[in-house]
Chains A and B, each alone.
Chain A
């Protein structure tokens, strides 16, 4: 897993995780093809596969993370020929410091795929979701979410 600076350089190690963890997990989420999502709603990803014991749950696209350090990698694509945007929300507040999904009219039958990511330190009940801003757009099964990280409890 990533690390800031060389391990021998103690002065930067306060930024690295030094606490005990209960495991490293990677969990994949998918989206059903042709899913229609209203403006302001979360993308309803569902868990496709993942290791057991990760403790990650999802309800209507709102993901609850167990205590630990996580990286969430989102991708989103429409099946319409239209521009669209989406933002990451953490505990129902927009995380505007992180990249916004900006999918563009591709000139074909669907928008181009676009991505964003956010690192999150969860207290055990921290939620994360991707909310769309386009009105009544339909999204493709190429959209996905990957969450990778460590649990600390």
Chain B
């Protein structure tokens, strides 16, 4: 305890507006609701730390939504996906992991099978 590094709050930020993209390219979801234990953070703060994300999507066609995602636009690799087989909607991502470094967390993802899947709440990211 002779040295204690600065400890920041934990942040959970969410996708507020459902979003879909008409292609299979790499896309970015913008997260707009930054919440700490003290409430909503005003604006979009730049954060530092280890980030996790989970995504939920509604499929557009016959293929299950599969999203490879990471909670950052500049660092980290695309992480786990989880197929949802069956009707309409599913949590198609478990945890994507990356390090955010003085940046706004976003979720970058790539759709696996079919363009047009809609990413919905409770898609979110956590920074610790």
Q: A-side interface residues toward B, CB under 8 Å? A: 1-7, 12-13, 15-18, 20-22, 24, 69-71, 73, 97-100, 102-108, 112-121, 148-150
* Known A-B contacts A113-B91, A115-B54, A150-B7; A107 and B86 likewise in contact (beta carbons under 8 Å): yes
Q: B121 and A113: CB pair below 8 A? A: no
Give the complex CA separation of A102 and B10 in angstroms.
22
Quick check: is B70 within 8 A (CB to CB) of the other chain? no
| A-B complex: 10 closest residue pairs judged by Cβ atoms | A2-B49, A99-B122, A3-B8, A107-B86, A119-B10, A121-B37, A71-B10, A107-B85, A119-B37, A2-B8
Residues of A near B87 (CB, < 8 A) are 105
Q: Would you give the shortest CB distance from A51 to chain B, in whole angstroms?
A: 15
Closest residue of chain B to A13 (Cβ to Cβ) is B6
Give the complex CA separation of A71 and B33 in angstroms.
17
* Known A-B contacts A15-B45, A114-B91; A69 and B122 likewise in contact (beta carbons under 8 Å): no
Quick check: is B82 within 8 A (CB to CB) of the other chain? yes
* Known A-B contacts A107-B86, A113-B91; A98 and B35 likewise in contact (beta carbons under 8 Å): yes
Q: Quick one: which of A24, A100, A106 contacts B84, CB cutoff 8 A?
A: A106
Q: A1 and B49: CB pair below 8 A? A: yes
**What per-residue 1/0 map shows which CB atoms of B11-45 lie under 8 Å from chain A?**
11010000000000000000001011110010001
Which of A13, A115, A116 has the largest number of chain B CB atoms within 10 A?
Answer: A115
Q: Would you give the shortest CB distance from B117 to chain A, in whole angstroms?
A: 14
Q: Would you give the shortest CB distance from A133 to chain B, in whole angstroms?
A: 14
20 A-B Cβ contacts within 8 A? A3-B7, A3-B8, A5-B45, A6-B46, A6-B102, A20-B4, A21-B4, A21-B7, A69-B37, A99-B121, A104-B84, A104-B91, A106-B90, A112-B84, A112-B91, A116-B122, A117-B124, A117-B126, A119-B9, A119-B10
Q: B4 and A71: CB pair below 8 A? A: no
Closest residue of chain A to B82 (Cβ to Cβ) is A112
Q: Would you give the shortest CB distance from A36 to chain B, in whole angstroms?
A: 22
Number of A-B contacts (CB under 8 A): 134
Other than A6-B46, A115-B94, give 11 A-B pairs with Cβ distance below 8 A.
A4-B8, A4-B9, A13-B6, A18-B6, A20-B4, A73-B126, A99-B54, A100-B122, A105-B87, A112-B84, A115-B95
Query: Quick one: which of B96-110 are within 8 Å of A by CB?
Result: 102
Q: Would you give the shortest CB distance from B64 to chain A, in whole angstroms?
A: 9
Residues of B near A105 (CB, < 8 A) are 86-87
Q: Would you give the shortest CB distance from B107 to chain A, in whole angstroms?
A: 13
Quick check: is B47 within 8 A (CB to CB) of the other chain? yes
Give the complex CA separation of A6 and B90 in angstroms.
37
Which of B9, B36, B102 has the largest number of chain A CB atoms within 10 A?
Answer: B9
